[in-house]
Chains A and B, each alone.
Chain A
Amino acid sequence: MTESGPTPNALTGIRVVEFGPYVALPLTGRILGSLGAEVIKVETNKVLDEMAFIPAWSRGAGQPEYQRGKRRITLDVRSDAGRDLILEMVRISDVFMTNFRRNVLDRWGIDFPEIRRQRPDSIIMWQTGLGGHGPYYTYKSFGILVQHLSGVSLMTGLPGDPPGVVNTSYSDYHTGVFQPAGIIAALMRRNLTGKTATLESSIFKSGVATCGPALLDYQVNDRPPERRGNRDAWAAPHGVYPCAPDPVSGDADRFIAISVADDHQWAKFRQAMGDPAWSTAPEYETRIGRQRNQDSLDAAIAGWTASQDAAALMDSLQQAGVPAGMVSQGADLNASAHLQSRDFYQDTQYWEAERGVKATEWVEGDSVSWSIPAKMSGTPIAFGKYSNIGEDNAYVFGELLGLTTTEISELEEAGVIY
């Protein structure tokens, strides 16, 4: 990079302080880091991020997803020296983002007015669970349960079913990907106008914002969303059909999704099935007819799919011009030639977290990590290095903040840096 040349990554030169644990905030930092920002992740108060112990199959194996591409430091902000260090980091950074609650930040003396005093043009992203103000501001939540709070679980499944649930931290991901958009926009606005901004997000709001047109339908027509399962108001057949047990694992839980939007696709689908006699019945000729007779239609299609391999059927239907997708399992994604050709999953190391053992002594293992799903032709996404907790203390405290090695070891002895 020459002084007049373009920056190598989209956000080269931007520095971000990431202060807080769990899923959404670290995901935001991961995305900004992948785009070239220097992200300093502060792990604080000798408390390990619980995410280091989840998922259960191997402690910390999923951590590179959230923490790679960052400078990771340790700091006890409950001490004056610790607080001063984080404020010094704020002074040399463009962005401060946190998911700690207001009263906790106040107690530590790193509240937002203080951030502004230290760095008047700092962009602040304050991620909350249910909201930073208002009647629930002290309430606790976590992402997997916010799918209930935000309305989506009672839109999923069929009438009379329990709430329909996805087994993941649902709207944490919405928040995690909304936030980088807000931050980059705020940086542009700052560069153009000199104005700063504090943006407050919430996991709750992110979930509700993505509920879709049902929010309008209720207001205009007083109509709650219909729980349609896998069916659609505008297409038939539109569902998930059983397939043969997996040829490798023997797993019987195999399905294919098939979506036929119009009569043209229906003709292609019939042809792909070999024009069985049942498919020529007049009630299936038009979309309206197929929608009225979905029970018999779905049963007939299931009879055709049940003996077939999900992956092979997906290929043959797609090649026949019929939108279809196997319900992918981990084995499929891991072996997917398509994803491999796009370098989606990449190998990485990790360290197995253990309580009471210094991070430098944790056991190293291998993991797999995805790359950011926005491939940019001019400013490649950085996969980045995966640092262990505290690995970048010397770089951040020494090179960036200018502390001497003696000063750093004194802070270590005092337990401020650990």
Chain B
Amino acid sequence: MPRFDDYTGENLIPPYRILDLTDRRAAFCGRLLADYGADVVKVEPPAGDPSRHLGPYPADDPGAERSLDFLFYNTNKRSITLDLDSQSGRDLFRRLAADADVIIESFDRHHLYDLGIGFDALRAENPGLIMASVTPFGNTGDWADYQGDDLVVMAASGYMQITGEPDEPPVRQGNEHSHYPAAQYAAVGILAALYHRDFGGGDGQHIDVSSQEALITYYTDAHPALLWRKLGQNVTRVGTNSTLVIPLGAYPCKDGWIAAGVITPREWNALAEWIHEVTGNDEVLNDAYRGGNQDRAEHIDIITALFLEFAENFTVQELFHEGQRRNLVFLPVNEVADLLADPQLAESGFWYDIEHDDPAIGAIKYPLGIFHSDEVKARNRPAPSLGADNAAVYQGELGLTADELVTLGSDGII
């Protein structure tokens, strides 16, 4: 069992030392672990993680400490700088790895091996070491050396095949969705590996996470391989409406869009009655439309028309609350501004206020409360400034002198 002298359970995750070498495609893994208590040290090249040089910035004024992209993906981490392309940088990394619990990386699969700091070499000095590699297509197989960013992985996983309008090309989701699934699976794998090592009598190990595979599991409802095998059909885009649940979709109303879906016969009856109250159109009470969702499949066009005629009489919020009062799944189609003002999120322990030294940023809300609990909270430290923890780590832990630190700095190692 590991010894954590100061850990009394205030955070969900014990303060395991994690070295984070990932770029923004996998940075969410370390963030999730750091938010909930792990000691995640981001190891950055001396010029800083590339995402420090990506916008958006406050007032579009660039700066390595003000990239909102970097700030979002790196909360609660610490930062050290280190040039892994130099021999002395790699020597220092080896010393750090010898005492680390976990390394997370997202380089191409040969990179760390070519530098002489691949998993096997590091593990030889630290048998308990756990390393997770998050790559577009995994570390083995024909595509292992293929490159990919969000767009390419969204495409190759097939996730894009079912995103967008039927008569338009496939579209990627605007939140760079592929940055999350693989990072989440990596976090699960890391925690399971730590559990095995520390409470199951095991050793360290390597975890190989493919973003393509992770995304395939994120649309299991559509199960493309199975549909092909069973019926020789390829899943495709259906726009805002569903072919499985009728009606289901997003519909324009007075001041925006309402999302609605009807599954059970009881829900349909409640909706039909409400539509009739509002529009007086007797057609909606037609017995042919009653029943479970598949029973209405052949009537989708008329049902959609009836719904549109009804919805245009209301605002989003009117439909949302009255629909729910009638036990119907009605939900607003929100913009980011709506989320930040949402009363439910405000009461869900979800937003964490984080202060920034930069007055152009100030105190802003971060969505860290994925788990709400009376017993444990997420932490609320902003993403680190570049190399903020160099002294603490290199002097405090590795025992380098102040002079040595200065020399490493002037040599461009840190």
Contact = CB atoms under 8 A, between A and B. Distances in A.
B15 to A, nearest CB: 11
B169 A341 contact: no
Nearest to B176: A212
Nearest to B349: A200
Contact of B152 (A55, A324, A368): A324
Interface string B43-87: 000000000001110111000000011011100000000000000
Interface in B323-373: 324, 327-329, 331-340, 343-348, 350, 360-361, 364-373
Interface in A221-236: 221, 223-225, 227-230, 232-235
B153 to A, nearest CB: 7
Interface string A158-199: 000111111111000110011011101111110111011111
Interface in B243-300: 243-245, 248-250, 257, 259-261, 263, 294
A328 B191 contact: no
Contact of A165 (B153, B163, B228, B231): B163
Contacts of B171: 156-157, 164, 229-230, 240
Interface in A131-165: 131-136, 138-142, 144-146, 148-157, 161-165
Contacts of A221: 56, 58-60
Interface stretch (A99-107, A331-339, A387-395): A331-339
Contacts of B42: none
Contacts of B335: 151, 154, 224
Contacts of B406: none
Contacts of B220: 23, 27, 62, 65-66, 168, 173, 370
A253 interface: yes
A148 B331 contact: yes
Interface stretch (B91-99, B178-186, B386-394): B178-186
A209 interface: yes
B174 to A, nearest CB: 3
A323 B149 contact: yes
B367 A330 contact: no
A206 interface: yes
A291 to B, nearest CB: 13
A264 B154 CA distance: 23
A131 B334 CA distance: 17
Contacts of B156: 257, 314, 325-328
A217 B344 contact: no
B245 to A, nearest CB: 8
Interface in A213-252: 213-221, 223-225, 227-230, 232-235, 238-240, 242, 249, 251
A210 B13 CA distance: 20
Given A141-B329, A141-B331, A323-B147, A202 B238 contact: no
Contact of B170 (A177, A216, A240, A324): A240
A191 to B, nearest CB: 6
B395 interface: no
**Centre residue among B71, B175, B205 by max chain A CB count within 10 A:** B175
A184 B333 contact: no
Given A191-B1, A218-B340, A330 B195 contact: no
A331 B232 CA distance: 8
Interface in A302-353: 314, 318, 321-334, 337-339, 341-342, 344-345
Contacts of B250: 148, 153, 162-163, 165
A406 interface: no
Nearest to B138: A342
Nearest to B133: A375
B154 to A, nearest CB: 7
A140 B321 CA distance: 11
Nearest to B51: A213
Nearest to A246: B234
Contact of B375 (A142, A163, A197, A331): A197
Interface in B145-174: 145-149, 151-165, 169-174
A251 B224 CA distance: 15
Contacts of A286: none
A211 B176 CA distance: 8
Nearest to A173: B218
B403 interface: no
B164 A157 contact: yes
Contacts of A136: 324, 344
A177 B188 contact: yes
A144 B242 contact: yes
A372 interface: yes
A227 B195 contact: no
A273 interface: no
A357 interface: no
B191 A65 contact: no
B306 interface: no
Contacts of B375: 195-198
Contacts of B200: 6-7, 10-13
Interface stretch (A70-78, A274-282, A376-384, A408-416): A376-384
Given A140-B324, A166-B173, A251-B234, A378 B219 contact: no
Contacts of A322: 147
Given A56-B244, A164-B171, A213-B72, A378 B204 contact: yes
A328 B169 CA distance: 13
B195 A10 contact: yes
B226 A367 contact: yes
**Centre residue among B72, B194, B338 by max chain A CB count within 10 A:** B72
A184 B142 contact: no
A374 interface: yes
B312 interface: no
B158 A328 contact: yes
B309 interface: no
B152 A61 contact: no
Given A141-B331, A376-B207, A378-B205, A333 B184 contact: no
A93 interface: no
A5 interface: yes
Contacts of B230: 57-58, 61
A57 B229 CA distance: 11
A81 interface: no
A316 to B, nearest CB: 12
B14 A192 contact: yes
Interface in A92-117: none
Contacts of B149: 235, 259, 261, 323
Nearest to B185: A374
20 contacts: A6-B203, A7-B202, A10-B200, A54-B244, A65-B217, A131-B345, A153-B240, A163-B259, A180-B191, A181-B188, A197-B373, A198-B373, A212-B179, A215-B339, A218-B336, A221-B56, A338-B143, A368-B225, A370-B216, A374-B209
Nearest 6 A/B pairs, CB to CB: A378-B205, A155-B174, A330-B228, A330-B224, A325-B156, A373-B213
